[in-house]
Chain A
Amino acid sequence: MAIDAATVRKVANLARIRVAEDKVETLAAELSGILTWIEQLNEVDTEGVAPMASTEAVSLPMRDDVVTDGGDPAKVLANAPKSDRGFFVVPKVVE
């Protein structure tokens, strides 16, 4: 499947990655090449095959619903680009 410039812009938007306008065509060609190569999967008959998202047969384990961690804001904020009085400082979200 060929990816055009508009699709690159859309995907970059979904991925929240800025793509410079002069790089869009190159990226379209690269992604098209990869997706065309991937399309050989259509040769495989997968009629009635259940999708396999995990290699483990077991269902996920349950645990008691109790607090096991937390209560240490200093640790949580230790790597924050910006923080103030125990809070993350983030750009304005609501206009």
Chain B
Amino acid sequence: MSELTGLTLKDALAGLKSRRFSAVELAKAHLEAIAAARPLNAYVLETPEKALAMAEASDARLKAGGGGRLEGASLGVKDLFCTEGVRSTAGSRILGEFKPTYESTVTANLWRDGAVMLGKLNMDEFAMGSSNETSAFGPVVSPWRSRGSNRPLTPGGSSGGSAAAVAADLALAATATDTGGSIRQPASFTGTVGIKPTYGRCSRWGIVAFASSLDQAGPLAKTVEDAAILLTSMSGHDPKDSTSLPQEVPDFASFAGRSVKGLRVGVPKEYRAEGMPTEIETLWAQGVAWLKDAGCEVVDVSLPHTKYALPAYYIIAPAEASSNLARYDGMRYGLRVDGPTLFDTYAETRAAGFGEEVRRRVMIGAYVLSAGYYDAYYLKALKVRRRIADDFSSAFEKVDALLTPTAPSAAFGLGDNTADPIAMYLNDVFTVTVNLAGLPGLSLPAGLDAQGLPLGLQLIGRALDEGTLFQLASAIEKAADFRAKPEPWWRASPEAAR
């Protein structure tokens, strides 16, 4: 493997700027690594020609002394982002060979800043899943394995391809999205850093919609500073998304490394799941100790409605999804399965095009929105959502941020949770609260469990206060000194890697 793929985004940008290596060399190194890592199934589409053309253009700009803030950086893109002329599937059969005739705002921002696209990354179908197993392309296999075991593990989901690609050095960083934990849980499972920013920070325009009041884009990266660099480029007001916030975007990377002395951090006592491994409790306590050592004041807080976030989410998200996914009718794009009547054509197309979990959620959504049940389910969930948001507001009167575990376990085996939907949903118990309240949440690796698998800690901040999260995360990152990398078992032979 080339040492170029092992670089952080920050170091790669510095190397490109100083012409130590070219954007083409960097892209080629990544494309070779991707070709040698197909057993991971992280990419659903490799775009080598596009990558090299973009890299050549970057090299020309760098040579002329110009270039944007991501000039020449090799990135992967979750397949939920529409990319002009490049197949975009959302991990679903129903989109078939859909080639958007437009570019999502977030990816357009990356190309504006000079980034290079390596390809499209695997994901749970329509971002509905926590293990990448609902993808029409099959699951991503985590680059991580338990010590002494060959059992395939999940990289988490729904942004499993993005997380696996970053963990296995198949991209310097990647775009991802998070509706209930889809950036942070995969980050926790793969030893990477991910942030779901404040709702409205990143434009949703051109991102295939799942649950519009919860969906947000964000980066997955190797370090806290890398995540900050990428988020700065991804963010910004977009008139094409009416929920995009008309706010200035700070240089998020400037917060990394700033002193955290005097910041008040809350520890919510409700973030303890039944059966949660003691290792996660211990790591959480360790996180508190690190922040205290760095000069933070740590206090106990209570978020009493935490346990109701997940059931509220499983009304709100499916309700929004059933509405959003009504567009897949087989008429204007994607799959069409003809039936004897128009109704049959709709029903056959959607039965054939949607996978099991998507069908399940669309039906739950249709049920909770149907006449006679709307008040009992949907309206009730929206009221509980307010309670959850109010819990956070009260906590943030006393503290600047919250520290919690990211997920209630380390990565589990592929197939372990597929028989029981609720067991799978419980993965998001600590992350989903943040989506309901629209707040920023960041996960970073803090240690390994006894099996040698990464565990993450989550920081939650006030709306629009991602800066404080980067500040605190970089203090934890420094103290944790997490350097573990997965063994590259997926490279069958040294020749295959060249």
Measured CB to CB, the residues of A under 8 A from B are 3, 7-8, 10-12, 14-19, 27, 30-31, 33-35, 37-44, 46, 49-56, 60-61, 63, 75-76, 78-82, 88, 90-93
Q: A43 to B239: give the CA distance in the assembly, Å.
A: 41
Contacts of A51 in B (CB 8 A): 379, 382-383, 385-386
Q: A17 to B360: give the CA distance in the assembly, Å.
A: 10
Q: Once the chains bind, are B308 and A41 in contact (CB under 8 Å)?
A: yes
Q: A52 to B435: give the CA distance in the assembly, Å.
A: 13
Given contact pairs A15-B322, A55-B199, A37 touches B422 in the complex (Cβ within 8 A): yes
Contacts of A49 in B (CB 8 A): 383, 386-387
Residue of B nearest to A45 (CB): B387
Q: Once the chains bind, are B382 and A82 in contact (CB under 8 Å)?
A: no
Q: Once the chains bind, are B366 and A91 in contact (CB under 8 Å)?
A: no
Q: Can you report 30 A-B residue pairs in the complex whose CB atoms are below 8 A from each other?
A: A11-B363, A14-B367, A15-B366, A16-B329, A16-B346, A17-B354, A17-B359, A27-B360, A30-B360, A37-B314, A38-B377, A44-B308, A44-B383, A44-B387, A46-B380, A51-B385, A52-B389, A53-B382, A55-B199, A56-B200, A56-B243, A61-B242, A79-B332, A79-B333, A80-B332, A80-B333, A81-B334, A81-B335, A81-B336, A90-B331
Main secondary structure of the interface of B (DSSP, over half): helix
Interface members, chain B 388-434 (any A CB < 8 Å): 389, 421-422
Indicate which residue in B100, B341, B370, B382 contacts A91 across the interface (CB closer than 8 Å). Answer: B341
- A14-B367, A34-B314 provided; 13 other pairs, C-beta below 8 A? A15-B359, A16-B329, A18-B351, A19-B351, A49-B386, A53-B213, A54-B243, A55-B463, A56-B245, A61-B242, A61-B246, A88-B331, A92-B342
Q: A91 to B329: give the CA distance in the assembly, Å.
A: 12
The interface bits of chain B over 320-339 (1 if a CB of A lies within 8 angstroms of the residue's CB, else 0) are 00100010011111111010
Indicate which residue in B350, B377, B381 contacts A17 across the interface (CB closer than 8 Å). Answer: B350
Contacts of A7 in B (CB 8 A): 367
Measured CB to CB, the residues of B under 8 A from A are 98-101, 199-200, 213, 239, 242-243, 245-246, 305, 307-308, 311-312, 314-315, 322, 326, 329-336, 338, 341-348, 350-351, 354, 359-360, 362-367, 370, 377, 379-387, 389, 421-422, 436-438, 463
Most buried by B among A15, A55, A90, A91: A15
Q: Once the chains bind, are B362 and A46 in contact (CB under 8 Å)?
A: no
Minimum CB–CB distance for B388 against chain A, Å: 9
Minimum CB–CB distance for B262 against chain A, Å: 28
Q: Once the chains bind, are B342 and A52 in contact (CB under 8 Å)?
A: no
Residue of B nearest to A51 (CB): B382
Contacts of A11 in B (CB 8 A): 363, 366-367, 370
Contacts of A82 in B (CB 8 A): 336
Contacts of A42 in B (CB 8 A): 380
Q: Once the chains bind, are B364 and A40 in contact (CB under 8 Å)?
A: no
Q: A92 to B342: give the CA distance in the assembly, Å.
A: 7
Q: Once the chains bind, are A46 and B367 in contact (CB under 8 Å)?
A: no
Residue of A nearest to B420 (CB): A33
Minimum CB–CB distance for A74 against chain B, Å: 9
Q: Once the chains bind, are A81 and B383 in contact (CB under 8 Å)?
A: no
Minimum CB–CB distance for A14 against chain B, Å: 4
Q: A63 to B5: give the CA distance in the assembly, Å.
A: 45
Most buried by A among B246, B370, B437: B370
Indicate which residue in A34, A35, A50, A92 contacts B383 across the interface (CB closer than 8 Å). Answer: A50
Minimum CB–CB distance for A25 against chain B, Å: 14
Indicate which residue in A43, A50, A91 contacts B338 across the interface (CB closer than 8 Å). Answer: A91
Q: Once the chains bind, are A17 and B311 in contact (CB under 8 Å)?
A: no
Q: A90 to B379: give the CA distance in the assembly, Å.
A: 36
Contacts of A56 in B (CB 8 A): 199-200, 243, 245, 438
Q: Once the chains bind, are B367 and A3 in contact (CB under 8 Å)?
A: yes
Q: A30 to B350: give the CA distance in the assembly, Å.
A: 19
